[in-house]
Homo-oligomer: A and B are copies of this chain.
Amino acid sequence: MNEKQILMIPGPTSIPQRVMNVLGNPAMGHRTDEFSAIIKDVTEKLKKIYRTENDLLLLSASGTGSMEAAVCNFVSPGDKVVVMENGYFSNRWANINRVFGAEVQVIEGAWGVPADPKALADVIAADKDKRVKAVFVTLNETSTGVTHDIPALRNACGDHPAIFVVDAISGMGVVPLETDAWKLDVVVSGSQKAFMLPPGLSFISVSPKAWALHKECKSPSFYFSLSAAKKEYDDKSSTPYTPAANLISGLQESLLMLEEEGLENVQARHRSYRSMIRAAVKALGLTPLADDAYASTAVTAVVKPEGLQVKKIVNTMKDKYNIVIVGGQGKSSEDIFRIGHLGYVTKSDILATVASLEMTLTELGYPCALGKGVAAVQEIMLKG
C-alpha cells in the first residue's frame, strides 16, 4: 500500500484537506475585485497574527525572498549592520547583507543557545556615532530548535536609531510575538510554516521608522520593492506584479482555520507538542540540543546518539515508517537530527513519530526500551 507520508520537518508542514481543496480550485484572474477582496482579507488577518498596525505586505517568493526584501529596502552599500548569529538561518542575514554591500558586524554565538542580549547591548553602546543602521535577529532558529528572546534583544537596542529586523519565518504564529508592543520594525514570515501552506509566499511588516530608512535607501530593488508593494496595496488592494494567486487563496482558508482555533490555542498546542517530543527523547536517553528554557515549540533538534549516522536515522524513518524528519544544517548537519512539530500536526502524528523513532534507533543498534518514549508522550496527553 502506498501509505500517506507524515511530514515532521520544520516546514513545509502538512497541508489540511480544507486548504488543499482551495489550492486545487480553478485559476482566478488576479486583477479582479474578487481577488483584491481576498488580498485585503488575508492582509488584515495577517496583521492580527503579527499583532501590528504597521503595513503588512505579501511577496510572491519563499521566505528567503522576504529576507532579501528586509535587506535591500533598508540597507545601503557601506551601511553598518549588526547580525546576531547562532545558527544556519541567522547566518543567512549576514550573507544577504554582505551581498548588498553592508559592513556586517556579526555577534557570533554557539549553535543551540540563544543570542546574547548583553553582547548586543555592548555593541549598541559602543556605537557612539550611531553608524549602525539595522540589527538583524531570528525569532526561532530552525537549524537548532532555539527560540531567541526577542524582547530582551530589542531592549538591548534601547532607543538607538537602528531598525530592528526579525526573521520570524518558522516562528510566526506558533511562538508569541508582539510586533508593535515590542517595537519590531521589520518582521518576515512565510507560507509553509504555521500557515500550513506550500512554500512560495511570504509576508513582511514595515514600521514607520523603517519606512523613513527606506526613503534614504540606495540599494536596488524592483521585484521586492516594498514601496511599490505598499502603493499597489493602498491604492487597489493589489500587488505590483503577478502574485502567487493560488497560495493567496489557500492562505485565506488557512487563516480562517487559525482564527477558528484561536491564536492562543494554536500556541498552546505547539507548546504541548514541544513537551511531548522532548519528554519522549529524554525518556529514550537522548539529549535535545536546546535547553528547556529556550526550546522551540516548532522544532526539536536532538543530539545524535554516539556511533549512529544521522542519514541512516532519517532514511530508516522515511523508508520503513513513512515519517519524514531531517538532519542538521550547515556545520551541525552530522551532529543532530530534527523533528518538526509545527503547523498541521496531530496527536497521532506525534505518537507515530515517537514509536517509529524507537524502532528505528533499536534497529540501528541504539537499544531503546520500546514504548518508553510513547509512554512519556501519553502521560502528557492524558493530562490534556
B199 x A245 contact (CB < 8 A) = yes
Check A179 for interface membership: any CB of B closer than 8 A: no
CB contacts (< 8 Å) of A244 on chain B: these are 62, 198-200, 244, 247
> What is the interface of chain A mostly: helix, strand, loop, or mixed?
loop
- Known contacts A12-B245, A64-B241, A199-B60: does B26 contact A24 (CB below 8 Å)? no
How many residues on the A side are at the interface (Cβ–Cβ under 8 A)? 59
- Least CB distance, A74 to chain B, in whole angstroms: 14
B9 x A26 contact (CB < 8 A) = no
Check A20 for interface membership: any CB of B closer than 8 A: yes
* Chain A, 55-107, CB within 8 A of any chain B CB: 60-65, 67-68, 71-72, 95-96, 99-101
B65 x A223 contact (CB < 8 A) = yes
Check A32 for interface membership: any CB of B closer than 8 A: yes
CB contacts (< 8 Å) of A63 on chain B: these are 241-242
A12 x B24 contact (CB < 8 A) = no
CB contacts (< 8 Å) of A31 on chain B: these are 326
CB contacts (< 8 Å) of A189 on chain B: these are none
B30 x A199 contact (CB < 8 A) = yes
In the complex, which residue of chain B has the Cβ closest to the Cβ of A240? Answer: B64
B26 x A15 contact (CB < 8 A) = yes
CB contacts (< 8 Å) of A7 on chain B: these are 26-29
- Least CB distance, A208 to chain B, in whole angstroms: 24
B20 x A21 contact (CB < 8 A) = no
Check A336 for interface membership: any CB of B closer than 8 A: no
CB contacts (< 8 Å) of A201 on chain B: these are 200
* Chain A, 163-197, CB within 8 A of any chain B CB: 190, 192
CB contacts (< 8 Å) of A246 on chain B: these are 23, 198, 200
Please report the C-alpha to C-alpha distance between residue A368 and residue B29 in the assembled complex, in whole angstroms: 27
Given contact pairs A4-B26, A9-B29, A192-B242, a sample of 14 additional A-B residue pairs in the complex whose CB atoms are under 8 Å apart:
A12-B27, A12-B28, A20-B26, A24-B24, A60-B199, A62-B242, A64-B242, A68-B223, A96-B222, A101-B220, A198-B246, A199-B245, A200-B243, A200-B244
